Structure 1
Amino acid sequence: MEEVFRTNDPVKLSYIRHLMAEAGIACYVLDEHTAYIDGRGPMVPIRVVVHPDDAERARSELSELDQDG
């Protein structure tokens, strides 16, 4: 799996999931529950990962979103 985005913004994360679904790209969200336990602080970023074959297309779909931090 290859990381394509990091965020702690739940609204942005929802939008990312929507964009990936619309593009037909399977994405997986890592550390979401850990970040919520931490209080959504910057200590534990929520990572969005995809299959390496889809990484470039996913980055293209997400290119207009600003990374957190």
Structure 2
Amino acid sequence: MKELFRTTDPTQLAFAVALLEGEGIAAFQMDVHMSVLEGSIGILPRRLMVREKDMFLARAILCDNGLEVG
């Protein structure tokens, strides 16, 4: 799996996951439970991972919908 998207905004992450799932691309969220360590202040980014074979299409989907992909 490769990192597609990183953000501290949980709404952007949920939007990205919904877009990808709508296109049949499996996405895995990492660092979701890090709020225990940071004290729920939202400073640690969460990562969205996709399979390497889906990376090109997943990037295009997020970019087309206004999300900045790193």
Q: TM-score, normalised by structure 1?
A: 0.84
Q: 2:68 maps to which residue?
A: 66
Aligned residues: 64
Letter matched to residue 18 of structure 1? A
Per-residue Cα deviation, 1:4-49 (whole angstroms, up to 9, x for no partner) = 1001101111101110111100000000111x221211xx210000
RMSD of aligned Cα (Å): 1.2
* Deviating 4+ runs (over 2 angstroms): none
Report the equivalent of 1:31: 31
Which residue identity is paired with 1:65?
Answer: L
Residue segments in structure 1 that go unaligned for 5+ positions in a row: none
Give the secondary-structure state (helix, strand or coil) at the position aligned to 2:22.
Answer: helix
Q: Secondary structure at the match of 1:60?
A: helix
Consecutive unaligned residues in structure 2, runs of 5 or more: none
TM-score normalised by the chain length of structure 2: 0.83
1:40 aligns with 2:36: no
